[in-house]
């Protein structure tokens, strides 16, 4: 009897939790995931300034792994895949430099990596804008066509 009561409480707790999470669960997942990148890259910077090579290598590796996850594939374009690939190679080069205890090289790769963060974000914003106008043109064209 007690077991059933406990099970009922658990079921309700789970239901309440799912209800609270609501529809915004998906974007939150991407957002939390993407924020991990930021956390790891801040840790790389910390490793660089304190000359902690294992901190640099560990976090650069994590960044590289994140870029392979399905949550990372926000856009399915060739350009996005290319930017992701270049980004991952830079993260790997950073890991390598840290393992070789080459501080100057690791610092250069960190700067390179940061530029790639910014470039991909620029690209993503650009595509979103283009997408909207493409859709507008498409809608306008179909309306014109139906009118004929
Ligand atoms: C290959 C593309 C790409 C690269 C490289 C990249 N990002 Fe992102 N990032 C994205 C996409 C896509 C989003 C989601 C944007 C959206 O949905 O509006 C995002 C979102 C974010 C966010 C916002 C999360 C939120 O709160 O919504 C942060 C922070 C972030 N990235 C940090 C970084 C950092 C730091 C780097 C470099 C170490 C980096 N990103 C490199 C594609 C990239």
Question: In this structure, what token pair is assigned to residue 148?
Answer: 């004929």
pLDDT > 70: percent of the chain: 70
Assess if residue 13 is contained within a domain. no
Assess if residue 41 is contained within a domain. yes
Q: Which CATH number covers residue 112?
A: 1.20.120.10
Can you give the pLDDT at residue 105? 98
The total domain count for the chain is 1
Express each pLDDT in 37-61 by its tens digit.
999 999 999 999 999 999 999 999 9
Assess if residue 16 is contained within a domain. no
Element (H, E) at 140: helix 103-147
| Residue 23: pLDDT over 50 | no
Residue to mutate, 28, 30, 34, ligand 1, most ligand atoms under 8 Å from C-beta: 34
Which residue range(s) make up the domain with 103? Answer: 26-147
Ligand 1, atom 1, residue with closest C-alpha: 84
Can you give the pLDDT at residue 37? 95
Express each pLDDT in 65-78 by its tens digit.
999 999 999 999 99
Report how far ligand 1's centroid is from the alpha carbon of 56 (Å).
20
Can you give the pLDDT at residue 61? 98
Can you give the pLDDT at residue 142? 45
Ligand 1, atom 41, residue with closest C-alpha: 117
Cα angle 111-115-121, degrees, rounded to a multiple of 5: 145
Which ligand 1 atom lies nearest to the CA of residue 63? Answer: 38
Residue, of 143 and 130, whose pLDDT is higher: 130
Please report the sign of the dihedral spanned by the C-alpha atoms of residue 110, residue 115, residue 119, residue 122.
Answer: positive
Express each pLDDT in 69-128 by its tens digit.
999 999 999 999 999 999 999 999 999 999 999 999 999 999 999 999 999 999 999 988
Q: Which DSSP letter does residue 148 get?
A: -
Q: DSSP readout, 48-115?
A: HHTT-HHHHHHHHHHHHHHTTSGGG-----HHHHHHHHHHHHHHHHHHHHHHTT-HHHHHHHHHHHHH
Can you give the pLDDT at residue 148? 41
User: What length is written for the chain?
Assistant: 148
Whether 120 contacts 87, CB under 8 Å: yes
| Residue 18: pLDDT over 60 | no
Ligand 1 pocket, residues with Cβ under 6 angstroms: 30-31, 34-35, 37-38, 41, 63, 74, 80, 83-84, 87, 113, 116-117, 120-121, 124
Which ligand 1 atom lies nearest to the CA of residue 80? Answer: 1
């Amino acid at each position: 009897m007690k077991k059933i009561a406990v099970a009922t409480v658990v079921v309700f707790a789970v239901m309440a939790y799912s209800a609270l999470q609501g529809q915004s669960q998906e974007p939150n997942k991407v957002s939390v995931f993407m924020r991990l990148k930021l956390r790891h890259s801040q840790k790389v910077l910390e490793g660089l300034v304190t000359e902690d090579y294992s901190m640099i290598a560990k976090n650069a590796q994590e960044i590289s792994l994140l870029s392979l996850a399905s949550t990372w594939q926000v856009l399915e374009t060739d350009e996005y895949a290319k930017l992701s690939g270049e980004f991952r190679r830079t993260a790997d080069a950073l890991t390598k430099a840290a393992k070789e205890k080459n501080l100057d090289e690791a610092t250069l790769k960190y700067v390179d990596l940061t530029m790639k963060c910014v470039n991909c974000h620029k690209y993503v914003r650009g595509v979103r804008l283009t997408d909207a106008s493409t859709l507008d043109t498409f809608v306008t064209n179909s309306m014109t066509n139906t009118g004929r």
